[in-house]
């Protein structure tokens, strides 16, 4: 059985829409069958044509799409939401109320209240609700989780996560027109820039790779260029309880780095490291032993990780394929529900992870506003 999916968004020039579309269908588990790709009617029509969507199923509004698809016998099983985050709430609600499953771009919503409500609706309507925290999709991250879970590094003592990029400073210094300038507007994106945009990626990366939950945060925000309304550099002390600590650093003014999340996990018996610049590798050091550099899709990696690989070891699978893995796992779970597949060992970020990440951002904002004090997340 092949799933049918629709898209809201993805018809303009933002690169992420294209990544969603490829990701959802990468492994032939789902086929694009409906869409409301952009508000521009002509562009919307052309997008549908290009992607071989039945013209009757190219809609001018997400509401129309939700209603009509829900009524069809061959309607979509899930919708992919690839619009700016201030619109996620309304769109997701429309589809969930009609029993259509959701894969949503991150962050989940505009604020924590919306996020909590979305989670409630998902539970109420038995909706499978995924979020494309992209880095969670890499096979290597899955390997980290298996190794932590298997006790290979003992108890976790410290986690150091960072995501430096130069996006904001490079763009603003060049003063180039940029399609993403809405990201600087608190009315559009909420009370946080850097923390919400990329800090949440780290928050999720920690959750996916370690299984740890953050109990308290102490955050400091910096803003450069000074005239921006929101922070562009964030440092957060993390408290996981039970003596495990961590730090999270996200920066959009870090010249010399493009998009380079890195996580290092230190335990009582060993350590693990992954970075985006070497996305197919895991560094593992057992105590008093040499560091191992492990490659995805080798015989010594876990089955759960190798299942997310398509190519022989050494052939790089990148960002598109990581998205493909998130969709793949989501589709496996959806198919399992429909009694046509098994989903053991497949994982993807859910609406609950989305709520957690919104709660994390809110706590960081409060901590910073309060003069860098500890804020509980519980």
Stretch that binds a second copy, among 125-133, 144-152, 205-213, 246-254 (CB under 8 A): 246-254
Q: How far is the CB of 321 from a second copy (least distance, A)?
A: 7
Q: Is 173 in the site for a second copy (CB under 8 A)?
A: yes
Q: Is 368 in the site for a second copy (CB under 8 A)?
A: no
User: Quick one: which of 37, 78, 110, 167 contacts a second copy (CB under 8 A)?
Assistant: 167
Taking CB under 8 A as the criterion, which residues in 26-55 touch a second copy? 26, 28, 31, 50-52
Q: Is 270 in the site for a second copy (CB under 8 A)?
A: yes
Stretch that binds a second copy, among 117-125, 283-291, 335-343, 345-353 (CB under 8 A): 283-291
Q: How far is the CB of 172 from a second copy (least distance, A)?
A: 10
Return d(Cα 123, Cα 117) in angstroms, integer.
10
Taking CB under 8 A as the criterion, which residues in 316-335 touch a second copy? 316-321
Residue that has been written with the tokens 């919306």 in this structure: 114
Q: Is 174 in the site for a second copy (CB under 8 A)?
A: yes
Judged by beta carbon, residue 321 or residue 356, the one nearer a second copy is: 321
Taking CB under 8 A as the criterion, which residues in 96-135 touch a second copy? none
| DSSP collapsed to 3 states, 51-112 | CCCCHHHECCCHHHHHHHHHHCCCCCCEEEEECCHHHHHHHHHHHHCCCCEEEECCCCCCCH
User: Quick one: which of 60, 74, 182, 313 contacts a second copy (CB under 8 A)?
Assistant: 313
Distances 205 to 75, 134, 174, 186, 252 between C-alpha atoms, Å: 34, 9, 31, 25, 18
Return d(Cα 68, Cα 152) in angstroms, integer.
51
Q: Is 215 in the site for a second copy (CB under 8 A)?
A: no
Q: Using an 8 Å Cβ cutoff, are 92 and 110 in contact?
A: no
Return d(Cα 103, Cα 133) in angstroms, integer.
11
Q: Using an 8 Å Cβ cutoff, are 125 and 97 in contact?
A: yes
């Amino acid at each position: 059985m092949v799933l049918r999916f629709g898209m809201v968004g993805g018809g303009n020039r933002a690169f992420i829409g294209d990544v969603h579309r490829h990701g959802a269908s990468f492994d032939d588990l789902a086929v694009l069958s409906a869409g409301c790709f952009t508000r521009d009617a002509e562009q919307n029509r052309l997008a549908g044509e290009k992607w071989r969507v039945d013209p009757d199923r190219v809609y001018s509004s997400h509401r129309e799409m939700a209603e009509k698809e829900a009524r069809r016998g061959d309607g979509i099983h899930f919708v992919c939401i690839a619009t700016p985050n201030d619109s996620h709430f309304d769109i997701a609600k429309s589809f969930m109320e009609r029993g259509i499953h959701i894969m949503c771009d991150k962050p989940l919503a505009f604020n924590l209240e919306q996020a909590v409500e979305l989670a409630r609706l998902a539970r109420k309507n038995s909706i499978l609700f995924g979020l494309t925290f992209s880095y969670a999709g890499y096979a290597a991250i899955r390997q980290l989780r298996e190794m932590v879970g298997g006790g290979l590094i003992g108890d976790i003592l410290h986690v150091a996560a960072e995501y430096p990029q130069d996006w904001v400073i490079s763009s603003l210094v060049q003063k180039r027109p940029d399609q993403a300038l809405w990201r600087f507007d608190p009315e559009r994106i909420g009370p946080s820039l850097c923390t919400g945009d990329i800090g949440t990626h780290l928050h999720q990366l920690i959750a996916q790779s370690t299984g740890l939950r953050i109990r308290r945060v102490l955050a400091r925000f910096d803003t450069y260029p000074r005239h921006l309304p929101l922070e562009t550099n964030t440092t957060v002390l993390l408290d996981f309880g039970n003596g495990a600590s961590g730090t999270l650093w996200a920066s959009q003014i870090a010249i010399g780095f493009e998009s380079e999340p890195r996580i290092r996990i230190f335990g009582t018996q060993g350590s693990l490291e992954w970075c985006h610049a070497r996305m197919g590798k895991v560094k593992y050091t057992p105590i008093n032993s040499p560091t191992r550099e492990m490659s995805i899709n080798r015989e010594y990696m876990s089955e759960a990780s190798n299942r997310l690989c398509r190519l022989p070891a050494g052939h790089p699978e990148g960002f598109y394929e990581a998205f493909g893995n998130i969709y793949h796992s989501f589709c496996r779970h959806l198919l399992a529900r429909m009694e046509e597949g098994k989903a053991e060992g497949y994982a993807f970020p859910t609406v609950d992870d989305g709520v957690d990440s919104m709660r994390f951002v809110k706590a960081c904002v409060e901590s910073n506003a309060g003069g860098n004090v500890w804020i509980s997340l519980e």
